[in-house]
Structure 1
Amino acid sequence: MSHRSTATAPRRSRSRRSNPVAGVASFVWLLIVIIPLYAMITTSLAGPEEAVGRNALKPPSDPTLDNYSLVLESGFPHYLLNTALAALGVVAIVVGLSVPLAFVAVRNRGFWSGSAFRLLLLGVAIPAQAVVVPLYLMITKLNVYDSLWAIVLPTAAFAMPVSVLILVGTLRDISEESYEAMAIDGASPTRMLFQLVIPLAKGGISTVIIFSALQAWNGFLFPLIFTQSEEPRVLTLGLYNYVSQFGVNIPALLASVVLSGVPIFVVYLVARRALVSGLMGVGGK
């Protein structure tokens, strides 16, 4: 008994040993992330004259919310609604297709399913810039040019390979005994998908939701190429409102960036546990 306790004591002490190098690296990384955010927020509270040539780390002498008022009065709610609708559309398509595809790739180990899975993963290596012209022709043939669908469809297509890869890794952590138990009960593949796979893959699905939503929220190339009118304009294109031939309204531009990041930050705070669980595997493995 005493021998066992003495054997486990050094093991526990080693596991609790501090790592100063990791602590310093984490602190440096935190500064790298926080300092630009601090500079962006403080500049967004400064006046247009004070913003030019000021020290970004120095708080504004006369903070004002006029920049945020200007942003809210310059079509920001309309751009925010369009961006939210595009993100919801991308998430719905990606989750609705990637979950069954990942389930088939994990459960069906035949030649054709494996080949289709490897072919799908080739999409990870294809940059969007390389296929803009074919995509433009397809969008015009589908008669969805200059609409939100012109943003949703290609964004969802380019988010699919990574999403399927994430979900395949998550579903492979589900034990084979669980599938066999449901098969003995006479469960069909559809029932396994909805009653076994989806409940146990909530972490991976949350990861896919956040990933695909970010692709739509931060997307710039597809909105720039496939839309031109004011009606389907999204937040990334709305930033052009503060750029003119006479200069750039830097405080208003940064105020728009701050407001654009608030919704996605709130979503991250709500789903951060599921996101970490999905990245580590089912059950945090």
Structure 2
Amino acid sequence: MRRGPTAGHHAGTRQQSRPRNLSGSRNRPNYLAGIGVLLWLCLVALPLYVMLGATVQTRPDYSAGGPLSFPENFTFSNYTQDFSNGFGRYFLNTIVVTTSVVVIVLLLVPPLAFSIVRNRGRATGRVFRLFLLGLAIPAQAVIVPMFYVISTAGLYDNLIGVILPTAAFCLPVCALILTGTMRDIADELFEAMAIDGATTRRVFFQLVVPLSRSGLATIVVFSALQAWNGFLFPLVLTQSEETKVLTLGLYNFQTQYGINIPGLLAAVVLSTLPVLLVYLFARRALVQGLMGVGGK
């Protein structure tokens, strides 16, 4: 008498229906990972709490309660005092420097990367490798000759004297990123446009630029961060209050009698808001652009 297939079939179905992970064991809650995430969240949230809590306290309340004290009397006077102390001028100067650097990078890097990708001769490769040597040169190593060049050109204590070297040090990294992005464009697309009779300019604007949006977003965010957080060039190449940027303006909260910590942290919060907004809107394109650095 033969055994019916029904029992064995149902038994096998019950065994296969049990959820298992790649290692073959059942899915179980990972309590250790949860504890690690909570600890990491505390480490990240504590500095944010200290910074934001201090900005809504008066200086005497902060001195009496300490950095971990909960603000009892909320006030926004620290933010208003920042603008009365010249924060608006520093903010505007920083926006001018950042916008100018981003515009210079967008005007120079895309044509440069396109010529490197499409011209595959030895001379182009050598020029590109020579151009990338700028990655190995720190700004601190050339600050003295940079000061001499800027002073000789009559650009000392001028925002243009800060914009040009900042953009120059952004070019190698941005060229590397955008070159890797453009190398991911299939050659068949270039061949199709060549058969269609498209000029080089049309190929660049109608094919390369739309398909390189992730790389373009990456170099925009990178150059904007470099210009916004720049400290060395504004410190050495500017002097007057009219040309100060945010990174130098924070020094105004330090006097011979102490540091206005609530006012300083309020200025830090205001200075990080534009960068945070840029990152929130461009984070997906930023990740995609960084993944394409290596090219094919």
Q: What is the TM-score normalised by the length of structure 1?
A: 0.88
TM-aligned CA distance change 1:113 to 1:62, over 3 Å? same
Does the alignment pair 1:134 with 2:145? Answer: yes
Match in the other structure for 1:207: 218
Residues in 1 aligned to 2:171 and 2:29: alpha-carbon distance in whole angstroms: 38
Match in the other structure for 1:235: 246
Deviation at 1:77, TM superposition (A): 1.3
- Range moving further from structure 2, 20-29 or 222-231: 20-29
Deviation at 1:147, TM superposition (A): 0.9
Match in the other structure for 2:235: 224
1:69-121 deviation digits (Å, cap 9, x = unpaired):
11021111111111011001000111211111111111111111111111111
Does the alignment pair 1:100 with 2:120? Answer: no
TM-aligned CA distance change 1:28 to 1:177, over 3 Å? farther
Secondary structure, aligned partner of 2:242: coil
Q: Which amino acid aligns with 2:128?
A: F
Deviation at 1:11, TM superposition (A): 11
TM-aligned CA distance change 1:247 to 1:167, over 3 Å? same
Give the alignment partner of residue 271 of structure 1, picking from 269, 282, 285: 282
Q: Which amino acid aligns with 1:205?
A: L
Q: Which amino acid aligns with 1:173?
A: D
Secondary structure, aligned partner of 2:51: helix
Residues in 2 aligned to 1:130 and 1:18: alpha-carbon distance in whole angstroms: 54
Deviation at 1:189, TM superposition (A): 2.1
Match in the other structure for 2:54: 43
The structure with the larger Rg is 2
Secondary structure, aligned partner of 1:144: coil
Q: Which amino acid aligns with 2:177?
A: I
Q: Aligned residues: percent identity? A: 53
TM-aligned CA distance change 1:152 to 1:23, over 3 Å? farther
- Range moving further from structure 2, 155-164 or 45-54: 45-54
Residues in 2 aligned to 1:19 and 1:185: alpha-carbon distance in whole angstroms: 58
Residues in 2 aligned to 1:132 and 1:98: alpha-carbon distance in whole angstroms: 24
Match in the other structure for 1:248: 259
1:169-220 deviation digits (Å, cap 9, x = unpaired):
1111111111111111222222211111110001110010011001111111
Give the alignment partner of residue 165 of structure 1, picking from 176, 181, 194: 176
Give the alignment partner of residue 63 of structure 1, picking from 74, 83, 102: 74
TM-aligned CA distance change 1:25 to 1:48, over 3 Å? same
CA RMSD in angstroms, aligned pairs only = 2.7
Residues in 1 aligned to 2:244 and 2:136: alpha-carbon distance in whole angstroms: 28
Does the alignment pair 1:86 with 2:80? Answer: no
TM-aligned CA distance change 1:24 to 1:195, over 3 Å? farther
Residues in 1 aligned to 2:266 and 2:218: alpha-carbon distance in whole angstroms: 28
* Count of residues in correspondence between the two structures: 277
Q: Which amino acid aligns with 2:142?
A: V
List gaps (5 residues or longer) in structure 2. Answer: 1-12
List gaps (5 residues or longer) in structure 1. Answer: 1-5
Match in the other structure for 1:3: none
Match in the other structure for 2:10: none
TM-aligned CA distance change 1:33 to 1:168, over 3 Å? farther
1:7-32 deviation digits (Å, cap 9, x = unpaired):
xx9999549x7894766655554443
Does the alignment pair 1:148 with 2:162? Answer: no
Match in the other structure for 1:187: 198
- Range moving further from structure 2, 59-68 or 72-81: 59-68
Q: Which amino acid aligns with 1:113?
A: T
Q: Which amino acid aligns with 2:163?
A: V
Residues in 2 aligned to 1:157 and 1:37: alpha-carbon distance in whole angstroms: 34
Does the alignment pair 1:175 with 2:186? Answer: yes
Deviation at 1:279, TM superposition (A): 2.4
TM-aligned CA distance change 1:19 to 1:221, over 3 Å? farther
